[in-house]
């Protein structure tokens, strides 16, 4: 009888400990999900909040989830990645949860490609994880269009870096179609902008002009986008021989850059490099 009582106590204790662990696991996950929801709007806040969390007692999944959020927040805060070791370990752990949490596994693969791209790696090491992530996003229901867009966009960027304009154009078009589904004007603008540069590299100035006309429909009032558009117009006019109009546009660009309120951000640097 005593043995039965002892055995019952052990079973109750084990279930109690297991229940407590599950509750903590769930609470940690909820906390990370809440931070995840703020990533797009307040990445700096998320990064600061993550610094105040000690993940050492997290479950394996939550540790990897924490690392994924840290990497994404850093990327959105223009962090200069010098190593891909953290994202590699994150992908490795989340690969064990690919069936239970396919979206986060796909995100880890996507950011493995993006981090490597940020490190100027533009071969299959950056391409393949983006391609694998894109395949997973295609199977999700409902589909994760925003992240699928990013996969297509960065795959296109990799092909462009390798001077493969044909495939770069193909993937920019895929990205553009997803952006139109999302009705995201920034994504639409970015896709058409890069399609413009593809057309210019192929000296297809007629097509380039149609992209300029389309871009004008998605231009917002932010100075970076105004500079981008004027830069595109200037490059086009210069190559078709309208040099006086090019000079006028360059003066307008310099005037905007000289304004006290103008900040030379990363996106504007990209536009300058594109020129």
> For each of the chain's 275 residues, which pLDDT tens digit applies?
555 554 444 444 444 444 445 455 577 899 999 999 999 889 999 999 999 999 988 999 999 999 999 999 999 999 999 999 999 999 999 999 999 999 999 999 999 999 999 999 999 999 999 999 999 999 998 889 999 999 999 999 999 999 999 999 999 999 999 999 999 999 999 999 999 999 999 999 999 999 999 999 998 878 888 899 999 999 999 988 898 888 988 888 888 888 776 665 544 444 443 44
Domain that holds residue 88: 27-143
10 Å Cβ neighbour count for 213?
Answer: 10
Distance CA 168, CA 225 (A): 22
In a domain, 128, yes or no: yes
Residue 106 domain-assigned?
A: yes
Structural tokens at position 232? 């595109």
Residue 133 lies in a domain: yes
Cα–Cα nearest to 185, from 221, 156, 137, 227: 221
End-to-end CA distance of the chain: 86
* 256 assigned to some structural domain: no
pLDDT reported for residue 220? 81
pTM above 0.75, yes or no: yes
Give, in order, the Cα–Cα distances in Å from 183 to each of 12, 168, 191, 195, 237: 54, 22, 13, 18, 30
Q: How many domains does the chain have?
A: 1
Whether 1 is in a domain gets the answer no
Identify whether the C-beta of residue 211 lies closer than 8 Å to the C-beta of residue 195. yes
Cβ(138)–Cβ(120) below 8 Å: no
Whether the upstream peptide bond of residue 64 has omega within 30° of 0, thus cis, is no
**C-alpha distances in Å from residue 211, one per residue of 119, 200, 208:** 30, 10, 5
Residue 221 DSSP label: S
Tell me how far apart the alpha carbons of residues 275 and 263 are, in angstroms, rounded to a whole number. Answer: 19
The Cα–Cα gap between 156 and 79 comes to: 22
* Domain-embedded: residue 195: no
The label of the residue with tokens 């840290």 reads 70
248 domain-assigned: no
- The pair phi, psi for residue 39, each rounded to 5°, is -55, -45
Q: How many CB atoms lie within 10 A of CB 143?
A: 13
3-state helix, strand, coil in the chain (%, to 5): 80, 0, 20
Q: Comparing C-alpha atoms, which of 167, 98, 177, 160 is closest to residue 135?
A: 98
Q: Quick check: is 123 in a domain? A: yes
């Amino acid at each position: 009888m005593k043995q039965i009582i002892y055995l019952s106590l052990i079973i109750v204790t084990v279930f109690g400990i297991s229940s407590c662990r599950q509750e903590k696991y769930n609470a940690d996950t909820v906390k990370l999900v809440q931070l995840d929801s703020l990533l797009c709007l307040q990445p700096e806040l998320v990064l600061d909040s993550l610094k105040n969390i000690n993940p050492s007692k997290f479950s394996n999944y939550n540790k990897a989830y924490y690392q994924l959020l840290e990497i994404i927040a850093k990327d959105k805060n223009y962090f200069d990645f010098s190593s891909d070791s953290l994202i590699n370990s994150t992908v490795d752990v989340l690969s064990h949860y690919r069936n239970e949490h396919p979206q986060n596994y796909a995100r880890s693969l996507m950011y493995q490609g993006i981090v490597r791209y940020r490190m100027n790696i533009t071969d299959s090491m950056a391409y393949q994880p983006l391609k694998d992530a894109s395949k997973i996003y295609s199977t999700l229901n409902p589909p994760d269009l925003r992240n699928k867009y990013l996969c297509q966009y960065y795959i296109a960027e990799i092909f462009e870096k390798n001077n493969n304009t044909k495939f770069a154009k193909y993937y920019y078009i895929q990205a553009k179609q997803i952006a139109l589904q999302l009705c995201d004007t920034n994504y639409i603008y970015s896709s058409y902008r890069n399609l413009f540069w593809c057309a210019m590299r192929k000296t297809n100035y007629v097509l380039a002009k149609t992209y300029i006309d389309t871009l004008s429909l998605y231009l917002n009032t932010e100075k970076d986008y105004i500079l981008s558009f004027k830069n595109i117009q200037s490059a086009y006019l210069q190559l078709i021989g309208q040099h006086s109009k090019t000079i006028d546009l360059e003066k307008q660009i310099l005037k905007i850059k000289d304004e006290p309120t103008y900040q030379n951000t990363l996106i504007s640097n990209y536009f300058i490099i594109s020129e």
